[in-house]
Structure 1
């Protein structure tokens, strides 16, 4: 005779506690998550939790959810146990804000409509071609030792050629292979900047949803944006020291989708040169242009080694490859390469060789052309759905590329806890608050990841939520 479903939940939670994976003070998964995990309704979960509470193993705490309050060792004896939760708050790296943690958890649930993910849909990934490339690379003679500190030379040469085609004269020795733009930012924060540094950046910005610079003891100072990009009066007015730096995402900006004009790019380079401000150019969306190629990168205009350029294949080819790069002066790249070696001793050789094959064989350029065609279709579907279901409640601009549409909700339709309400409908979206947009009127919608049907359904449900505000 099979066990009741609620008993399976009880045994699962007890096992997690007994193994020490959920220590005293740990927050257990939400009722919604447990219901989805065990494919039961929430009343079954509640029955299990009530029995565990009666046993004294867990309890509900206002503002924290349900937490572990005891474990099998303390129930069976008086020997005290180590409490790792006391160490959780001692680390130097700050935790993500609660909403970002909730988004990360929800994005792992395939049952939800993903209007939040900044990545391509599975059917846009070149699965069959990737298998073929991996097989071809695997048949070659591969050195199985650690790579050179800056990364595989074949890949660095391929990236050098790739950048050259995009107007950037960068040699292989001036390129560092990283596992993505986020690792690049982490290396820069610990290797090139002082504690107390000021990072100037667009506001809103994706960088506000991370804690990479703040955890290193730096402060973020926002630059308001207009139609051409970040407005630079703050840079002109600020008293700069060698502790200041500029971070910018000029091409199909995340989250607004804006494209910095060529004129503003020139102005930014000039003011940074005048004030001796280094620039980090995050250009991971450059190849996702839909209406026409974007203006030349800041790096292509940089004659003084002032720009550190970040690129990645995660947004265009495959996040799973974990391949990105930093291009800059050789002395800076050597410094960051040393730090990367201390961190992980180099990115995967196989991933680097696969990436090199894509870039040198012509497959990448053919693939990205197909991706642009499909993203144009998805953008049209999202814009049509917004026109049909959301136009009475919000406004937006048509992005010229990238993955995002930035919605501005009309003041009278501001919906408290919109993220939570959308999640209850099975829809994941990103509220502007995680990007330091404080008015409560903005939402970032992605048309890159969800299916066409899901895009329409998700935006339809969003319209209903805005309409039903009380």
Structure 2
């Protein structure tokens, strides 16, 4: 499998690049996370979603739409999924409870054309792991029917507080050495380090301090200026201590 990245901006995938990529690489499909993208946290605009769908239909390019973060919005819901306007059955929509309910529950769903695609995927799933746990599916079914919206409200509130706290720490310790966008949902903040330093050396120095970083070259081999930060798991104290130390390491390396 050969993977090729598509350029992005603050609105999401740059759809104008699709024609060029189609000519150069003849891709089989496009994989995208329109809502609160991992790692950038970007929310694809409604205009961009519409144009992306139209361009992919013209190019006969199927889309895999990964929407595992779509329910984790803070101020307002994201635009409708690409699948909502799929008239040709060319979008395969993926959802999951691993981000909203419990990371240990590897339960998700796929919306796509029947019977060919869904039946084939169900067959592959069964051959791979004999199907998901019946108990896990039962728990998720109960949760979706009773308590889903209430729990999501709590999760969104907690994540928003954590995002705001991380932004506060960034403003305190990083204002002169990195830039960032404020995500409107999801788990991640995408930092751009403005001084010219080695991301690899920063990664190694942070690891020696017990801090595991996600540098940009994990996601794009040519990206040596970004870091992905997550506010979803660490405690507030860990966030503060970790970020303060990272800022000190960057300054030491300047």
**TM-score by shorter chain over 0.5:** yes
Aligned partner of 1:401 in structure 2 is 185
Query: Structure 1 CA distance, aligned partners of 2:25 and 2:193?
Result: 39
How much has 1:241 moved relative to structure 2?
Answer: 9.1
Q: Which runs of 5+ in 1 are unaligned?
A: 1-217
| Structure 2 counterpart of 1:344 | 129
Q: Which residue of 1 aligns with 2:118?
A: 333
Tell me the residue number matched to 2:231.
447
Q: What is the Cα deviation at residue 414 of structure 1?
A: 4.6
- Partners of 1:415 and 1:469 within 8 A in 2: no
Deviation (angstroms), 1:275: 1.2
Secondary structure of the residue that 1:322 maps to in structure 2? coil
Higher relative contact order (CA 8 A, sep 6+): 1
Q: State the Cα distance separating 1:243 from its structure 2 match.
A: 5.6
Could you give the per-residue CA deviations for residues 196-247 of structure 1, whole angstroms, max 9, x where no partner exists?
xxxxxxxxxxxxxxxxxxxxxx211221111111112221232389862111
For structure 2, the residue ranges without an aligned partner over 5 or more in a row are none
Query: Secondary structure at 2:181's aligned position in 1?
Result: coil
Distance 1:243 1:452 in 2: 42
Partner of 1:232: 15
Asked whether the equivalents of residues 29 and 61 of structure 2 are also in contact (C-alpha less than 8 Å), the reply is yes
Q: 1:241 to 1:377 in 2, by over 3 A?
A: closer
Asked whether 1:222 is paired with 2:20, we answer: no
Give the aligned partner of residue 73 of structure 2. Answer: 289
- Alpha-carbon separation, structure 1, partners of 2:160 and 2:221: 27
Which residue number corresponds to residue 357 of structure 1? 142
Q: Distance in 1 between matches of 2:26 and 2:217?
A: 30
Distance in 2, matches of 1:411 and 1:393, equals 6
2:54 to 270, 282, 295: 270
Instruction: State how far apart, in whole Å, the 2-side matches of 1:441 and 1:343 are.
Output: 38
Do the aligned residues in 2 keep the contact of 1:393 with 1:413 (CA within 8 Å)? no
Superimposed CA distance per residue, residues 395-440 of structure 1 (whole angstroms, 9 cap, x where no aligned partner): 1010011000000001335554211211111112211110015241
With normalisation by structure 1, the TM-score equals 0.52
After superposition, the Cα gap between the structure-2 partners of 1:393 and 1:305, relative to the gap in structure 1 and judged at 3 Å, is same
Task: Report the Cα distance in structure 2 between the residues aligned to 1:456 and 1:320, rounded to whole angstroms.
Answer: 27
Q: 1:422 corresponds to which residue?
A: 206
Change (3 A) 1:275 1:423: same
How far does the alpha carbon of each residue in 1:5-38 deviate from its partner, in whole angstroms, 9 at most, with x for none? xxxxxxxxxxxxxxxxxxxxxxxxxxxxxxxxxx
Residue 45 of structure 2: which of 230, 248, 261 is its match? 261
Matched ranges for 1:240-255 at <5 A: 244-255=28-39
Aligned mates of 1:277, 1:337 — CA distance in 2: 22
C-alpha distance in 2 between matches for 1:242 and 1:345: 34
Aligned pairs for 1:65-464 within 5 A: 218-237=1-20, 238-239=22-23, 244-330=28-114, 331-361=116-146, 363-436=147-220, 438-464=222-248
CA separation of 1:275 and 1:459: change in aligned 2, threshold 3 A: same
Superposition misfits of 4+ residues, deviation over 6 angstroms: none
Secondary structure of 1:329's counterpart equals coil
How many Å separate the matches in 2 of 1:275 and 1:462?
Answer: 44
Structure 2: distance between partners of 1:439 and 1:341: 38
CA, structure 1 residues 346+439, in 2 after alignment: closer, same or farther (shift >3 Å)? Answer: closer
- TM-score, length of structure 2 as denominator length: 0.95
RMSD: 1.6
Larger radius of gyration: 1
Is the contact made by 2:199 and 2:215 (CA closer than 8 Å) also made in structure 1? no
